Structure 1
Amino acid sequence: MTTRRRFCCSLALIGLGAAAGCSGDPDTSPSPSPTGTASPSPSPSSMPSPAQTTPAPSASPTASPVNPVSMQALIQKKYDGRGLRLGRVLDRNAAYTRYAITYLSGRLTISGVLNVPNGAGPYPAVVLNHGYIDPAIYTTGRGLAREQDYLARRGFIVLHTDYRNHAGSSDDPRADLNLRIGYVEDVVNAVHAVKAAPKVAPNRIGMLGRSMGGGITYSVLAAQPGLIDAAVVFASTSSDAAQNFNHFIRNDRGNAAITSAVIKAHGSPEARPEFWRNMSPVNFFDRVTEPVLIHHGDSDDTCPIAWSRAAHAALTRAGKRSALHVYPGEQHAFDRLWPLSMQRTVAFLRQNLRD
């Protein structure tokens, strides 16, 4: 990996547990056919009951004013996700129609795609948060392509957001300086936007994120409890900000200049531990109110499975409903067992996105 690639990859939401897609563009790989696979049958989709433990208190807001690059800022921010517009038809098939869309996130316009099943509805909706893809090569709707199709064919409206600085979205010149915390804002506003879309059942909204998008999902859950009804996370980056910084940037000798720039802007984890704690959704998991389903391959060399084990353990300690499925031999981009992971995902969403 080049230094430039490593920098873009790592800086993508360092503090929000989201640096993902560093090993390429797995989200756009073709869907493996379920036919002929040796995957075992899906396990029951029911979630375990919340652990009877006393949740650890979340980090309380620091002295006023709140740092704009923090979980506290995401908690206090007002969102409306207005102005959803359906643009041109990108595809039409027997199962669904695919539209180019835009919506507003604060003062920015965010692009994306919307898959709408053919029928009267109303349908449950799922907001998809893709992993890291270099914005220089990113095109609208790229990432999670197989998940977009799979879910729409099974009766879900799917909104795939591009994030700011991607495709047709507005530019945010401070995105890198702010560790791309704005991606979380864009996703929260995507949820508000899709609730107003035609055919959507607004009280039946799920979220799915992989890699960088998994870290974004954790931050959404912690910052805005009650916004959605269930969340699915694939091969996520760490929910601990300092862990991502050290893993993707600091421990790479080729990133000395980048490491210095980040430390100059925000301080090192040793010098300013409060900043890194306040950028870590794991320290706010006591706020989560939705069930979480986590998928991770045990051969992932981009985002170690230990990160998902730690997130699952932290959610469980906080008394939250969390389930972790481990996939033997699967790397960062799921392959052989991807159909099984999606069967489990659909069962989980159908169970939790009910009237």
Structure 2
Amino acid sequence: MPRRLLAFFILMLFLLASCQGQAQTLLPTPGLHRRTITPSPTATLTPTGTPTPETPPTPMPTITSTPNPFAELYIDALTQRSYGGGVLQIESLIENDSAFERSLFVYRSEGLNLYGFMNIPNGEGPFPVVIILHGYVHPAEYSALAYSARYADALAKAGYFVLHPNLRGFGASENDDNPVGIGDTIDILNLIGLVRSQAGVPSPLEKADGERIGLWGHSMGGSIALRVLVIDQQIEAALLYAPINADEAINLEHFEFDGRGNPKIDIPPEVLQGLSPIYYLDRISVPLSIHHGEKDVSVPIEWSRKLCLDLGMLNDEVVCHFYPDQPHTFKNSGDTVFIQRMLDFFNRYMK
């Protein structure tokens, strides 16, 4: 082999070996290289648990007015009611006078048995009716025949059919709630209704004239009579004998009880107005006769003087009599004069 060719061949082998050594240096051996990754902070979610149902809004309370327990007892309400029903019955004969017969009677009112006596004149009738409403006497000491029978007897002898009921809690009459005498008022209106329905038909009231009914009221009975007058305008005439006040607020202020022996109760002034006859005097058009003793220490005579003035401005037929030296219940000559004036008054307007 020529020398030039051999030298060229050796040079090429050298270069080839150099190139392979460089390739091994420049190309690193492949391996598993992992890049370290720092995790970014992740937001922590706080568990909320079971979702609480949304509470509905609390409704506004409905404003309702408290029922007025006296609403059905107002004079205007009592005027709208009907009265009577049932029957009046004779329980027993008390006595038979030469001029009249006295009997014990009973009737029902508001579920109560109410008793009293009636004087029926001898004769055919019909006779005008006078209903006597007694005053307050302690129930343990009450006796109708001891204090008011003389007035009933005088009327019966003069030809009047007289009914003398014992008010609630007196005598054998049953008792119940009776604020400022409203219960008594209803009872008397029921009695009047019975007279009108049973008069002239076979009954204990057969001899009564249901078209001619008058009222006679002493003390608390006078106040009841006055309230009846503003409710029932078909009454023919009324006599008031030392009546307590027609304004119930004054009675409650003045008396230890309510003027009728009942415990005082707290009644708002505006309610008392609806229960008091004084605010309805313009409804009274019947003849009135008012009597009061100047020595009365139970009911101030000034009350009757004012009532006479108030009624006199509304009614031409109001007559008032004041008795010197006479107490709450008249005595002796004063009582004699009173009885005669009573008879003259009823004879004038009911016969």
TM-score where L is the length of structure 1: 0.72
- For 1:93, the equivalent position in structure 2 comes to 97
- For 1:350, the equivalent position in structure 2 comes to 347
2:281 counterpart of 1:289: no
- For 1:45, the equivalent position in structure 2 comes to none
- For 2:241, the equivalent position in structure 1 comes to 234
Distance 1:94 1:250 in 2: 42
Distance 1:140 1:234 in 2: 16
Q: Which one of the candidate residues 128, 133, 149 is aligned to 2:153?
A: 149
2:122 counterpart of 1:122: no
Distance 2:257 2:184 in 1: 23
Q: Which runs of 5+ in 1 are unaligned?
A: 1-62, 252-257, 267-271
Distance 2:114 2:336 in 1: 30
Structure 1 residues 307 and 118 mapped into 2: Cα distance closer, same or farther (>3 Å)?
A: same
- For 1:179, the equivalent position in structure 2 comes to 180
Could you tell me how far 1:321 is from its partner in structure 2? 2.3
- For 1:33, the equivalent position in structure 2 comes to none
Give the match's secondary structure for 1:332.
coil
2:342 counterpart of 1:339: no
Aligned partner letter, 1:304: P
How many residues are paired up? 273
2:62 counterpart of 1:72: no
Aligned partner letter, 1:348: F
- For 2:193, the equivalent position in structure 1 comes to 192
Highest Rg: 1 or 2? 2
Distance 2:300 2:85 in 1: 34
Could you tell me how far 1:166 is from its partner in structure 2? 2.6
1:196-211 equivalences under 5 Å are 196=198, 197-211=205-219
Could you tell me how far 1:86 is from its partner in structure 2? 1.6
- For 1:245, the equivalent position in structure 2 comes to 252
Distance 2:316 2:85 in 1: 27
Structure 1 residues 281 and 125 mapped into 2: Cα distance closer, same or farther (>3 Å)?
A: same
Could you tell me how far 1:123 is from its partner in structure 2? 1.0
Give the match's secondary structure for 1:68.
helix
Could you tell me how far 1:150 is from its partner in structure 2? 1.1
Asked if 1 retains the 8 angstrom alpha-carbon contact of 2:181 and 2:224, the reply is no
Asked if 2 retains the 8 angstrom alpha-carbon contact of 1:141 and 1:161, the reply is no
Asked if 1 retains the 8 angstrom alpha-carbon contact of 2:195 and 2:208, the reply is yes
Distance 1:250 1:82 in 2: 33
Give the match's secondary structure for 2:101.
strand
Write the deviation string for residues 211-235 of structure 1: whole angstroms up to 9, x where unpaired. Answer: 1111111111112211x10000101
Greater shift, 191-200 or 323-332, is seen at 191-200
Structure 1 residues 337 and 140 mapped into 2: Cα distance closer, same or farther (>3 Å)?
A: closer
Structure 1 residues 80 and 345 mapped into 2: Cα distance closer, same or farther (>3 Å)?
A: same
Structure 1 residues 138 and 301 mapped into 2: Cα distance closer, same or farther (>3 Å)?
A: closer
Aligned partner letter, 1:299: K
Structure 1 residues 146 and 81 mapped into 2: Cα distance closer, same or farther (>3 Å)?
A: farther
Which runs of 4 or more aligned residues in structure 1 lie more than 3 Å from their structure 2 counterparts after TM superposition?
63-66, 136-143
Structure 1 residues 216 and 180 mapped into 2: Cα distance closer, same or farther (>3 Å)?
A: closer
Distance 2:85 2:318 in 1: 28
Aligned partner letter, 1:308: S
TM-score where L is the length of structure 2: 0.72
Aligned partner letter, 2:314: A
Structure 1 residues 179 and 109 mapped into 2: Cα distance closer, same or farther (>3 Å)?
A: same
Q: Which one of the candidate residues 302, 305, 310 is aligned to 2:306?
A: 310
Asked if 2 retains the 8 angstrom alpha-carbon contact of 1:88 and 1:99, the reply is yes
Could you tell me how far 1:71 is from its partner in structure 2? 2.1
- For 1:323, the equivalent position in structure 2 comes to 319
Aligned partner letter, 2:169: N
Q: Which runs of 5+ in 2 are unaligned?
A: 1-66, 199-204
Distance 1:79 1:71 in 2: 14
Distance 2:145 2:252 in 1: 28
Distance 1:250 1:337 in 2: 29
Distance 2:208 2:278 in 1: 31
- For 2:275, the equivalent position in structure 1 comes to 279
CA RMSD in angstroms comes to 2.3
Distance 2:181 2:280 in 1: 19
Give the match's secondary structure for 2:71.
coil
Identity of aligned residues (%): 33
